[in-house]
Amino acid sequence: MFRRECKQAAVLVLCLPLLTGCWDRREVNDVAFVSGTGIDKVKEGYRTTVLYPLAGQLGGVGSSGGGGGTSGSRSWHLDSVTGTSLKETNNIQQQAMSRQLYFAHRRVLVIGEGAARSGLAPILDIVARVPQNRMTGYILVTKGDARDFMDVDVEVEKIPTEMIRELALNYMRTPRTVKETVHALLSEGMDPALPYCVVDRTKPGRSGQQKPMMKLEGLAVFREDKLAGLLKGEEAQGVLWAMNEAKRPTIVLPAPGGTGMQAVQFAVAQTRIRPVVSGGKITMRIDIRARGSIAENQSNYISGKDYTHAKLEETLNRKIKSMVEKSLKALQTEYGSDPVGFGDILYRSEPKVWSGIRDQWREKYKEVEMAVSVHTQVQHTGTIIKPIGRKERMMNHE
């Protein structure tokens, strides 16, 4: 009988950890779900900006899109404080809030230009170290202060951080997350590259008043953890092609042998890089293959009788090749940045060669020859073949 009672008591003791209930519960009413954080470098150290939605004003009667909430008020709140360290700024923010800041649902991390030039390492250290932080959140760089960028009212989304997230999703094939940025910093022979955003001005409708708007401007490239340059236009696109990160890229170019312009959008774009080492000389063979269709034709050009586009494809090949070569040259000589990861590719393909030059890679990188080859295929002309409004005698056939 005694032994039976001892067994029952032991079972009850073992069940105690499973019967503790909600001792660590967090009620929704006691939590502020941070959806985005902005980091700026200031004289005192850092300025941290957090944005969290106001659940009571999201949706419902009287709510509106963008920054508008019930009765015209914002459906989100922005709080910004300064401190000597990032953790100190979080503590200061918490001391002035009735709700517990909760970062597990943070979707974006916006780095101000000054903080990016100062270095990403201190910022990513606290993000990666604290278990609550979300490593899959997207990270971007903005011109000027991150606080000002996050304080822009957006018309399409209910909160600015959702707009920022969509911008990051649409720019690169693999949007840059905190995890991938940390991986780039810890990898040998690779530097981070992040989307670069600005605050632009627009005049909606007939209001006559300009409003600020978020805009994705280009690519921010780093040398180790410090911002090395801000790339725009074709310079940024050339790097994305080399990185195999170009997402449905569009090339606008003069029509071959005709007057006017054409635009070709690529549904498939693949880049493969193979290092070749010969006599101490390193060559990176960059092979780009892409398939797309004519998205716009404002020229006299029309495909041949068999609907091939040989001349157009040749023009596209030269255009993309030139764009990539110029971008890579700028990375090598002007910025000293390797966001493509040529060093990492060499390390994986030729580990013995890499072990001999790893300490001099920054200097060797400037001398690496980039052999770019491009093969494009224009598969479709869209739902029409001939450009509208052009007579047959004006057409320039292949």
pLDDT at 19: 64
pLDDT at 169: 92
Q: Provide the angle, in degrees to the nearest 10, between the axes of the packed helices 121-129 and 178-186.
A: 120
d(CA 117, CA 114): 5
d(CA 195, CA 380): 31
pLDDT at 62: 43
d(CA 390, CA 388): 6
pLDDT at 387: 74
Positions of the chain with pLDDT under 70: 1-2, 16-26, 56-72, 203-208, 258, 303-308, 389-398
pLDDT at 177: 95
Query: What is the reported pTM?
Result: 0.86
What domains can be seen in the chain, in order of their start residue?
28-224 (no CATH), 232-398 (3.30.300.210)
The three-point CA angle 257-262-267 to 5° equals 125
pLDDT at 139: 96
pLDDT at 238: 97
Q: Provide the angle, in degrees to the nearest 10, between the axes of the packed helices 121-129 and 86-95.
A: 60
